[in-house]
Amino acid sequence: MLELIAIRKAFNQGKPNEFWALDGIDLEIPQKGVTVLRGPSGSGKTTLLTILGCLARPTEGRVRLHGELISGLPERFLTEIRRKTFGFVFQQFNLIRGLSAIENIILPSYPTGERRSVLLERGEALLEKLRLSHRRDNAVEWLSGGEQQRVAICRALINSPQILIADEPTANLDTRLAREFLTILKLLADEGRTVVMTSHDPVVADSEVVDRVISLRDGRIVPDLAQVFAQAFG
Amino acid sequence: MLRRPSSRLFTIWIIALVAMTASFVDAWRLARTNDAAIERTAELVEQLRLTDPVLFTEARYTRHPTQADLHSAFQSHPLALEHFPSGTLIPPTIRGAYERLD
Amino acid sequence: MNDWIERQRHLLDFTLTSLARRKTKNIGLLVVFALLVFVLASVSLYTQALRSEAVRVLEQSPEIVVQRLVAGRHDLIPPDYLEGIGRLRGVRSIETRLWGYYYDPVLKANYTLMVPRTRTIEQGEIVVGPALEHTRGLGTNTGISLRAYSGELHTFLVTDVLPHETELMSADLVLMNEGDFRRFFNFPDGHYTDIVLSVANPREVRNIGLKLMEMLPDARPILREEVLRTYNSIYAWREGLLLALLSASILAFGILAWEKSTGLSADERREIGILKAIGWETGDVIRMKFWEGFVIAFSAFLFGYVLAYVHVFYLRFFLFEPVLKGWAVLYPRFALTPQIDAMQLITLFIFTVVPYVAAVLVPIWRAATTDPDTVMRS
């Protein structure tokens, strides 16, 4: 469904400190399942995630969504695709301080121009689903780490995106909360959503929720041993 | 309904706009009430052949600024007649400092 | 269309909640801004009202006043002076005026003593302006003694007080009989203070003035047009002076606004990054910031204007009165008539709201175009 072809991404291109974060990535994310990008820091997994989520454009190569080429689209259209198709959960949660949980959740829907009552209803349903209704009107900076993450997940889901993108979602959580996160992830995967996330947390990588692990190093995909076997003897 | 921030803002704006409109209505009302008085003043001006409002009475040259001598010290504009808008902006406060001999 | 409105309302909601986060700072800014609009609007409303009232009343003043000059100073009109003017074409009527100043040591103010043409006053009687009523306690059937320049005391009986509503023009007047006037001032018979001409065709006024100066080289015609222009410039001068004094505070506010809006904090930058990452377009961010500027500026404009109206027309302009109105011992009391025109309001709007909104928008441009992936790279 989401397809990357010969992706390369450079930072500071043309300058002495030019640096290729991704160097030839071919990847296909299927419609269903949870994919984890793994690798040491500097391996390019976050950069790959930004390209998958249409947050950034590749320097070279093509991105296809449902078979359509989207890497060349102007910003406006890209933003619209991002809003409709992707939901984001960031490592630092990136909630807007001073706003209540519900206001943070409906924020991504503002540009759609839907009625506020509709948005509130949808936000409340999500809070309900993640058992957070009692925090509806609390300012987000007063919530605990786990609660903040659940608010962030609600926000990512407000526009009912097909694909959920998460960057190190368990980095700021203890093991108990990380497991709770995986439960939520299971819930979403069962609904038929695609999840792509980066993580170097063994709790995540070893979880049965995860369907696929892709390892990166120096901006390239490292073939998985199991896959190599499968290809050789399958 | 007023929980929504923009609704609260609109309420405040509407109140302020109503106050603004009220000021226009009030201006119109005052203009109508004062019209007779202004008319009467204009009549008096015509009857007595008056030339200046009584804004500065403390010296002869200021009472009828437009009827003063041809060349005097203060003209705010080369095309305007000379006038002394009381020279200072506020009245003198030191009483008796240079009391006039009269 | 409904989508568009709802979208703007969402942006407005967001802006308001973010303004509410820095409540004290933003309310402070709103108050200072509203005060600035208040001051500008007060000055503008007041001068406009006073000027238009003076001009409207003075429209009825004589078209041409002729003075005679001796050695560059105002002198009396001698008896044979009028004859020359009589032949001038286009002049509808010629009248003489008899008036002069009397300094009253009790009030330390000058009265204008005048002989009216349209009203008969008996010998020994006077009609006084309203200011004499309320400052010297004169009323109908009270007497007053004035010491003439010759040293003798003259006693007059007040028979009438001029209407209070005409105070702007008549406050200090003392109207009397011609005989009394000449005796009091020792004013030579047959001489007059000046001459008043009325002209049939208003477009001829200037030509008649020129012809007068040709015929009577020592005459100095004063045209109504010049009088009106002088009053316009007096108020323009005072208004300008006040605005010049205020310009320092306007500049200070400009710096404050600039500082506030350009000093885009790291927090705000981060927020813009988040908004872009979760699906806001550059345009949405800019529109949101536009609303932020507009909410402050438009509210300040409305509050400032309404306060200014109340201040000028109901609180007698007490804050700036001395500067704009001038001061005098016998200051007339008069009710101002508001003269609000659309141009005035539009100008005020353009000079306050527009620059502020611009100052908020300019710095945001760069921040709004930052790439959405920056939030992931921090």
**Percent of chain C at pLDDT exceeding 90:** 34
pLDDT digit string (tens) for A81-115? 999 999 999 988 899 988 999 999 999 999 988 99
| pLDDT-derived band at A233, boundaries 50, 70, 90 | low
Report pLDDT for C256.
Answer: 76
Report pLDDT for C287.
Answer: 93
Residue-wise burial string across C331-354, b where 16 or more C-beta atoms lie within 10 A, e elsewhere:
bbebbbbbbbeeeebeebeeebbe
pLDDT at B99 over 50: no
Q: Flag if C339 and B31 touch (Cβ within 8 Å).
A: yes
pLDDT digit string (tens) for C58-98? 888 999 999 998 887 788 999 888 877 777 888 888 999 99
pLDDT digit string (tens) for B6-21? 999 999 999 999 999 9
Comparing A84-93, A102-111, A123-132, A200-209, the range with the smallest average pLDDT is A200-209
The Cα of B33 is separated from the nearest Cα of chain C by a number of Å equal to 9
Report pLDDT for C2.
Answer: 81
Residue-wise burial string across A85-109, b where 16 or more C-beta atoms lie within 10 A, e elsewhere:
bbbbbbbbbbbbebbbbbbbbbbbb
What is the number of CB-based contacts under 8 A between chain B and chain C?
225
Report pLDDT for C109.
Answer: 81
More confident site: A188 or B88: A188
Q: How far apart are CA C319 and CA C316, in angstroms?
A: 9
**Of A56, A36, A33, A54, nearest to A45 (Cα)?**
A36
Q: Flag if A113 and C6 touch (Cβ within 8 Å).
A: yes
Q: Flag if C101 and B63 touch (Cβ within 8 Å).
A: yes
**Percent of chain C at pLDDT exceeding 70:** 96
The Cα of A98 is separated from the nearest Cα of chain C by a number of Å equal to 6
- Radius of gyration, CA atoms only, chain A: 18
**Percent of chain A at pLDDT exceeding 70:** 96
Report pLDDT for A27.
Answer: 92
Phi, psi of C118 (to 5 degrees): -100, 10
Report pLDDT for C250.
Answer: 80
pLDDT at C128 over 70: yes
Report pLDDT for B87.
Answer: 45
Q: Reduced to 3 states, what is the DSSP secondary structure of residue C74?
A: strand
Strand segments (E) across chain A: 2-11, 19-29, 33-38, 60-65, 68-69, 86-89, 163-167, 194-198, 212-217, 220-222
8 Å CB contact between B43 and C46: no
Report pLDDT for C325.
Answer: 67
- Please state whether C124 falls in left (phi above 0), alpha (psi between -120 and 50) or beta: left
- Chain C residues within an 8 Å CB radius of A82: 279, 372
The Cα of C261 is separated from the nearest Cα of chain A by a number of Å equal to 19
Q: Flag if B66 and C227 touch (Cβ within 8 Å).
A: yes
Report residue B22 as tokens.
């009220």
Report pLDDT for C346.
Answer: 92
- Chain A residues within an 8 Å CB radius of C370: none
- Chain C residues within an 8 Å CB radius of A110: 7, 10-11, 14, 280, 284
Q: Flag if C330 and B57 touch (Cβ within 8 Å).
A: yes
Distances (CA, A) of B7 to C9, C271, C311, C358: 9, 24, 29, 25
pLDDT mean across residues, chain B: 74
Hey, which chains touch B, using 3+ CB pairs under 8 Å?
Answer: C
The Cα of A185 is separated from the nearest Cα of chain C by a number of Å equal to 19
pLDDT digit string (tens) for B47-60? 999 988 887 776 66
Q: Flag if B6 and C9 touch (Cβ within 8 Å).
A: yes
Within 8 A by CB and 6+ apart from C306, the residues are B16, B19, B20, B23
Report pLDDT for B82.
Answer: 53
The Cα of A186 is separated from the nearest Cα of chain C by a number of Å equal to 23
Q: Reduced to 3 states, what is the DSSP secondary structure of residue A216?
A: strand
- Chain B residues within an 8 Å CB radius of C110: 57-60, 63
8 Å CB contact between A136 and A157: no
What domains appear along chain C, each with residue ranges and CATH number? Answer: 7-58+232-377 (no CATH), 64-223 (2.40.40.20)
For residue C74, list its beta bridge partners. C69
pLDDT digit string (tens) for A54-77? 988 899 999 999 989 998 888 888
| pLDDT-derived band at B91, boundaries 50, 70, 90 | low
Phi, psi of A37 (to 5 degrees): -100, 125
pLDDT at C263 over 70: no
- Chain C residues within an 8 Å CB radius of A108: 278-280
pLDDT at C259 over 80: no
Report pLDDT for C81.
Answer: 85
pLDDT mean across residues, chain A: 90
Best mutation target among A13, A45, A55 (most C Cβ atoms within 10 Å) is: A55
Please report where in the chains the tokens 């296909």 appear, as a residue: A28
Distances (CA, A) of C148 to A105, B60, B90, C188: 89, 16, 31, 15
Question: Nearest chain C Cα to A56, which residue?
Answer: C373
Which amino acid is located at C71 in the chain? A
Question: Nearest chain C Cα to B39, which residue?
Answer: C57
- Chain C residues within an 8 Å CB radius of B12: 299
Q: Is A79 touching C (CB cutoff 8 A)?
A: yes
Q: Reduced to 3 states, what is the DSSP secondary structure of residue B99?
A: coil
pLDDT mean across residues, chain C: 86
What is the number of CB-based contacts under 8 A between chain A and chain C?
92
| pLDDT-derived band at B100, boundaries 50, 70, 90 | very low
8 Å CB contact between C103 and C175: no
8 Å CB contact between C288 and C14: yes
More confident site: B63 or C197: C197
